[in-house]
């Protein structure tokens, strides 16, 4: 494949995001980004909105969200460490309170799910900025595959399990932070949900 910028035949670098175009150098990739960007990011990606405590009584925990090319998650999203460690390319974006939930204050802005998803792999603690009044959070996959509410619930509950292990011993928590342990947890969680009258989990496709 030739470099899409300079047409050099020595184009060994591929766009890590869409994996459809090739470049001969980082300089060519950077120079071509404005041209390639509209095609690199899909027009719409299905993600999940995580609601803060103050609106869960009416909105529930999650809502499916169509994420467009101009959504700020593409520029300002963060990669949480534990999903990255176990092979899930999750991206999170915190919405400004005044834009999404301007009437909420204090504990109503707490978002335990968002906090759990941001825990550090060495300590089990989220950054201070993610520990209180997190507000509304949008989640998507960095590889632009569909992210469903059931998938995000499973990822969240894996974090909950890891935090339980941190409560016992740090070595146990660290020993469970790998792709195989995560896949095993997902299988077990799916079966548990089905046994607890959550038939919608039949549609959870594994591995995530």
Q: Residue 14, SS3?
A: strand
108 versus 11: which is more confidently predicted?
108
pLDDT digits (tens, 9 = 90+) for 16-29: 777 778 999 999 99
Task: Say if residue 18 is in the same domain as residue 54.
Answer: no
Does some domain include residue 60?
yes
Q: What is the C-alpha separation between 56 and 184, in angstroms, rounded?
A: 30
For position 194, what pLDDT does the model report?
Answer: 98
90 and 186 housed in the same domain: yes
* 102 and 120 both lie in a single domain: yes
Do 63 and 56 meet the contact criterion of CB atoms below 8 Å apart? no
**pLDDT for 38:** 78
- Same domain membership, residue 65 and residue 20: no
**Chain segment 46-88, per-residue pLDDT in tens:** 999 999 999 999 999 999 999 998 899 998 999 999 999 999 9
Domain count of the chain? 2
- The answer to whether residues 21 and 60 belong to one domain is no
Task: Give pLDDT tens digits for 153-176.
Answer: 999 999 999 999 998 889 999 999
pLDDT exceeding 70 applies to what percent of the chain? 100
Residues 114 and 159: beta-carbon distance below 8 Å: no
Q: 29-36: long-range contacts at Cβ-Cβ below 8 A with a sequence spacing of 24 or more?
A: 29/5, 31/5, 32/4, 32/5, 36/4
Residues of the domain holding 1:
1-40
Q: Does 114 lie in the same domain as 63?
A: yes
**Residue 34 shares a structural domain with residue 49:** no
* Single pTM value for the model: 0.85
């Amino acid at each position: 494949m030739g470099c899409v910028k300079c047409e050099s035949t020595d184009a060994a670098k591929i766009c890590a995001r869409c994996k459809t175009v090739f470049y001969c150098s980082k300089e060519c990739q950077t120079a071509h980004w404005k041209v390639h960007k509209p095609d690199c990011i899909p027009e719409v990606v299905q993600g999940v909105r995580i609601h803060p405590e103050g609106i869960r009584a009416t909105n529930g925990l999650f809502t499916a969200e169509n994420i467009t090319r101009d959504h700020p998650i593409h520029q300002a999203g963060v990669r949480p460490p534990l999903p990255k460690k176990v092979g899930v390319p999750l991206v999170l974006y915190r919405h400004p309170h005044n834009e999404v939930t301007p009437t909420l204050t204090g504990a109503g802005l707490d978002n335990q799910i968002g906090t759990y998803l941001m825990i550090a792999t060495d300590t089990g603690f989220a950054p201070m900025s993610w520990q209180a009044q997190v507000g509304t959070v949008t989640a998507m996959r960095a590889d632009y595959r569909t992210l469903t509410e059931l998938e995000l619930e499973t990822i969240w509950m894996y974090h909950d399990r890891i935090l339980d292990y941190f409560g016992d011993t740090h070595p146990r928590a660290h020993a469970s932070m790998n792709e195989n342990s995560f896949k095993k947890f997902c299988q077990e969680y799916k079966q548990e949900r089905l046994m607890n009258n959550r038939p919608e989990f039949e549609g959870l496709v594994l591995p995530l």
